[in-house]
Amino acid sequence: METFFRNPASAVLPYQTPRLRDHYLLGKKLGQGQFGTTYLCTHKATQNLYACKSIPKRKLLCREDYEDVWREIQIMHHLSEHPNVVQIKGTYEDGMFVHIVMELCAGGELFDRIIQKGHISEREAAKLIKTIVGVVEACHSLGVMHRDLKPENFLFNTPDDDAKLKATDFGLSVFYKPGEAFSDVVGSPYYVAPEVLRKHYGPEVDVWSAGVILYILLSGVPPFWAETESGIFRQILQGKLDFASDPWPSISDSAKDLIKKMPYDHATNVCLH
């Protein structure tokens, strides 16, 4: 007989769930985030492989933390039809953990491919950034702001060269209404937009982050760099881009123009040649 868990006082999910272990077998650790650990998991009935993000409830220190996890799950369901978003397969909760079962992306992070290659050709960068901007546009059309776009949060579904790129980690994402302004400083230092640092921003900050990713794809280095986090933030607020160092002299003007437009005009019309 299947056992269901539901303790309203400590529950993250507003509904009962079966126990994860009744349906899945957890395997090796795949990654570690701020709140949760991701494991390989096997569906017992089909032997299909998935990824399972397990979030210890002891790390959820206040009601806001509980709401953040529930919002992440809602947003993943909200975006579940998009082909370039990691698909959520199910959610499970017990007394100790909340588990989010997702499709397994076996091709690794976009970040790792950049490290492996140093930098990427314009043709390949065009394909990747078109996918990334497509995800941003889809999020925004559904009233979702990601707020943590970076190469570590894009995964390839297979190790093949023609693998599909998929967005993941919606832990900092929020729902928003047109014209709504946010003030909480969130994101990752190299990719955060100046509006976030000024504590008054909207969905345009995702386009800034996509522009930073494009700069890194083409050059292999971040556009704003310093020894300390506060130094990085100063560089971002100054906003000076280096197009003099290698490999920029060999990169097309259209690519450089797009990078200039994306962060500063927050344009979403991506066309690289």
Q: State the pLDDT at residue 271.
A: 44
Task: Note the pLDDT of residue 180.
Answer: 97
Which has the minimum average pLDDT: 61-70, 74-83, 116-125? Answer: 116-125
Residue 54 confidence (pLDDT): 98
Written as one letter, the residue type at 262 is: M
Q: Which of the residues are catalytic?
A: 148
Mean pLDDT of 188-206: 96
Instruction: Check residue 269 and give its pLDDT.
Output: 45
Cis peptide before 247 (omega within 30 of 0): yes
Quote the radius of gyration of the chain (alpha carbons, Å).
20
pLDDT at position 272 over 50: no
Outline where 4-121 has alpha helix (H): 63-78, 110-117
Q: Looking at residues 162-176, what average pLDDT do you find?
A: 96
| Residue range(s) in the chain whose domain bears CATH number 1.10.510.10 | 108-262
Classified by CATH at the fold level, domain 20-103 comes out as Phosphorylase Kinase; domain 1 (3.30.200)
pLDDT band with cut points at 50, 70 and 90 for residue 263:
low
- Do the annotations mark residue 53 as ligand-binding? yes
Asked if residues 98 and 55 have their Cβ atoms less than 8 Å apart, the reply is yes
Q: Does 9 have pLDDT greater than 80?
A: no
Per-residue model confidence (pLDDT) at position 187: 94
SS3 172: coil
Query: What CATH superfamily is the domain 108-262?
Result: Transferase(Phosphotransferase) domain 1 (1.10.510.10)
Return residue ranges of the chain for CATH 3.30.200.20.
20-103
Contacts of 235 (CB under 8 A, 6+ apart): 224, 225, 226
